[in-house]
């Protein structure tokens, strides 16, 4: 294999995030003749996660285990990743465009004085050049970018580049690397995570999002039920969050999360431009709104003009019947 591409993996509660597997597929798009080298950081045994990366297509995985890597800090993770990059001299580096990816990768790029293409949703080859497509102006346009010098370094948006199928017959080496991590200026004492059930919103394949039309926190309950039968997650407009119907961690849009699920169901959401910024690149959009003039219908593939309190129970029953 001529080239080596590092894929920096990310896990939550000991389970690798899907975007890690998508990043492996992205590395193979950058170069099909490449050795994909997974990189996993943490403070405890990472062998099972490393094996998962191999099942999803990594040829080799380097694990760095250190007590200072128990929680993410850009300083600690940065030192560990830079040390791996120094050893491996990769042709490329890929990571998910997640909260950690957005924080870590610019710091690495600046330390190495190399370019970085962030939030790529598509990778194509044009002759020898690797062309990355990324949304700009809140998803209203797309730009194509190439890196002309140095390491091909990119973050990829979750849910856009399909991962390879998991294949337990794939094999590869797992190497443990020891790294000296200098004293950190920021030490995480404790992480208190907000309780969230089920599927992670930013990686969900189906999102059921509620707006001010849902009218109350109780009104969100049927949305949770619909999300559950569809195996998806619940999101919200800022209108619903401001009205205290749900937590701000559910907010989708310009000042919330950006999601690109296979199916986005907008329920009682008017379709303000700031909301569209977070969901208009979803693959299929269904809008349920009682106002036929609502702007959300301009981006929807399917529209239901009706009262959400009548439509949602019907949808839940239909989906349950289909699954029975």
Instruction: Summarize as ranges the residues that interact with ligand FAD (CB under 6 A).
Output: 211-213, 237-240, 251-256, 268-270, 272, 274-275, 278, 288-291, 294, 307-309
Smallest gap from residue 166 Cβ to ligand FAD (A): 34
Question: In this complex, which beta carbon is closest to ligand FAD, that of residue 21 or of residue 245?
Answer: 245
Number of residues written out for the chain: 324
In Å, how far are 216, 265, 266, 312, 313 from 223, measured between CA atoms?
Answer: 12, 10, 10, 7, 9
- The residue nearest ligand FAD at its CB is 253
Cα torsion 147, 151, 156, 161 to 10°: value is 90
Sign of CA dihedral 102, 106, 109, 115: positive
* 194 burial via Cβ count (<10 Å: 0-12, 13-18, 19+): exposed
Smallest gap from residue 34 Cβ to ligand FAD (A): 37
Smallest gap from residue 315 Cβ to ligand FAD (A): 13
Question: In this complex, which beta carbon is closest to ligand FAD, that of residue 174 or of residue 252?
Answer: 252
Asked if 177 contacts 43 with a C-beta cutoff of 8 angstroms, the reply is no
Question: In this complex, which beta carbon is closest to ligand FAD, that of residue 72 or of residue 309?
Answer: 309
Question: In this complex, which beta carbon is closest to ligand FAD, that of residue 91 or of residue 220?
Answer: 220
Question: In this complex, which beta carbon is closest to ligand FAD, that of residue 15 or of residue 217?
Answer: 217
91 secondary structure, DSSP code: S
In Å, how far are 296, 301, 321 from 314, measured between CA atoms?
Answer: 21, 19, 10
Smallest gap from residue 203 Cβ to ligand FAD (A): 19
Smallest gap from residue 180 Cβ to ligand FAD (A): 42
Look at the block and give the residue holding tokens 């730009």.
143
Smallest gap from residue 239 Cβ to ligand FAD (A): 2
Question: In this complex, which beta carbon is closest to ligand FAD, that of residue 163 or of residue 274?
Answer: 274
Cα separation, 295 vs 291, whole angstroms: 9
Question: In this complex, which beta carbon is closest to ligand FAD, that of residue 152 or of residue 285?
Answer: 285
Smallest gap from residue 266 Cβ to ligand FAD (A): 8
Sign of CA dihedral 256, 260, 262, 267: positive
Question: In this complex, which beta carbon is closest to ligand FAD, that of residue 76 or of residue 271?
Answer: 271
Give the number of other CB atoms < 10 A from CB of residue 59.
Answer: 20
Show the CA angle centred on residue 279, arms to residues 217 and 275, nearest 5°: 60
Smallest gap from residue 223 Cβ to ligand FAD (A): 12
3-state helix, strand, coil in the chain (%, to 5): 30, 25, 40
């Amino acid at each position: 294999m001529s080239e080596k591409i590092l894929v920096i993996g990310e896990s939550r509660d000991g389970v690798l995030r899907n975007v890690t597997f998508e990043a492996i597929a992205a590395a193979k798009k950058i170069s099909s003749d490449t050795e994909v080298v997974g990189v996993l950081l943490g403070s405890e045994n990472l062998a099972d996660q490393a094996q998962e990366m191999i099942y999803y297509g990594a040829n080799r995985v380097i694990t760095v285990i250190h007590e200072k890597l128990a929680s993410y800090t850009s300083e600690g993770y940065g030192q560990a990743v830079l040390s791996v990059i120094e050893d491996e001299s990769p042709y490329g580096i890929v990571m998910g465009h997640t909260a950690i990816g957005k924080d870590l990768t610019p710091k690495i790029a600046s330390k190495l004085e190399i370019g970085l293409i962030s939030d790529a949703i598509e990778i194509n080859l044009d002759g020898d050049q690797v062309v990355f497509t990324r949304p700009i102006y809140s998803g209203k346009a797309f730009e194509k970018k190439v890196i002309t010098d140095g390491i091909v370094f990119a973050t990829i948006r979750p849910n856009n580049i399909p991962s390879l199928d998991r294949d337990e017959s794939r094999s590869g080496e797992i190497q443990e690397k020891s790294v000296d991590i200098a004293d950190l200026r920021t030490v995480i004492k404790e992480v208190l995570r907000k309780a969230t059930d089920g599927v992670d919103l930013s990686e969900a394949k189906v999102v059921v999002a509620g707006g001010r039309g849902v009218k109350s926190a109780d009104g969100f309950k049927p949305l949770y039920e619909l999300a559950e039968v569809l195996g998806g997650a619940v999101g919200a407009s800022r209108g619903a969050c401001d009205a205290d119907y749900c937590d701000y961690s559910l907010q989708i849009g310009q000042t919330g999360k950006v999601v690109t699920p296979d199916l986005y169901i907008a329920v009682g959401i008017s379709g303000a431009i700031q909301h569209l910024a977070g969901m208009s690149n979803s693959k299929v959009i269904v809008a349920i709104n009682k106002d036929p003039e609502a702007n959300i219908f301009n981006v929807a593939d399917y529209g239901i003009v009706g009262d959400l309190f009548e439509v949602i129970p019907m949808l839940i029953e239909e989906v349950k019947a289909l699954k029975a």
